[in-house]
Amino acid sequence: MTATPRYLGIRPGDLADKPYSEFWNPQVAPLPDHAREAVAHGPIAAPLLPALADAPAALQSPERGVENGFCFAKGGALHIAIHTFMPQVTPAMIDWWFGWHSDEPQRYKLWHPRAHVYAAWVGKPPADSQGRARYVGRTSHVDEYIGSSLGSYHIRFLAPHELGLDEHPLRDAQATAVCARVGFASLPFDIGYLLHYVTPVAGGSEMRSRFWIGGPHASARRGGLVGKLAVEAVKRVMRPTAADASALLVHCSQEMSHLATFLPTLFAKVTGGK
């Protein structure tokens, strides 16, 4: 079997037969002020951003604390928070997008044209599945640039309750939470968690993205003594830096802001608005 070529951007013919070709836009808007300020500020005090165990309560309460920034917690773990307002986007559109974008690399490239290279499911979801049911419990392999570094990642999507979120308020508020375990695609190691908490507001939705990377969040995807020894070695080597934090914060802010520019129209075209 011939491997799928992996490269940044769109080449002639890549979108020739794609009904979503009109949504390719290589121009990315300037970084929002709040993201620029978070990067310029640098690391903040660790207690200002909740640990993974405390995040569900913080996200599902009216007082959410710091919305934009990053810190280094005990054990070297990196915590990141970034807020994105998404005009005319609904939480249902976000669930649809996460179930749709990994079917083809070209779809993934729409999301961040300056950073996304490749995406594919590990076992494609059933064609008749929709919304959260299409991606929760499944894994996507993605290649993307975080800053100037190209990485290949293993994204295993989790149900919100697996990260401690109460799913009743999600249903009641017609909100959603995209949760995942993140690791390396080429190595049997997980390195952290991500959570995108999306709630409807006037004029669209607010997305609160959170990341917990490294330190105690790193683990082997296989058990036994070998796995334990290997992950301890990875923890010693993989200590995120402020430059890593800034790159990931900027990447997330850019991709989610760019997604919001076309998602409502794409969703309506592909699904008929349903």
Kindly state the helix (H) or strand (E) to which residue 247 belongs, with its residue range.
helix 242-271
Domains, in order of start, for the chain = 84-271 (3.30.530.20)
DSSP result, 47-80: GGS--GGGHHHHHTSS-----SEEEE-GGG-EEE
161 secondary structure, DSSP code = G
Mean pLDDT for the chain? Answer: 91
Separation of alpha carbons 264 and 23, rounded Å: 11
For 212-236, how does the pLDDT look when each residue is reduced to its tens digit (9 = 90+)? 999 889 887 766 555 565 566 565 5
pLDDT given for residue 168 in this prediction: 86
% of the chain surpassing 70 pLDDT: 92
**Has residue 274 got a pLDDT over 90?**
no
**Has residue 201 got a pLDDT over 50?**
yes
| Phi, psi torsion values for 65, nearest 5 degrees | 75, -150
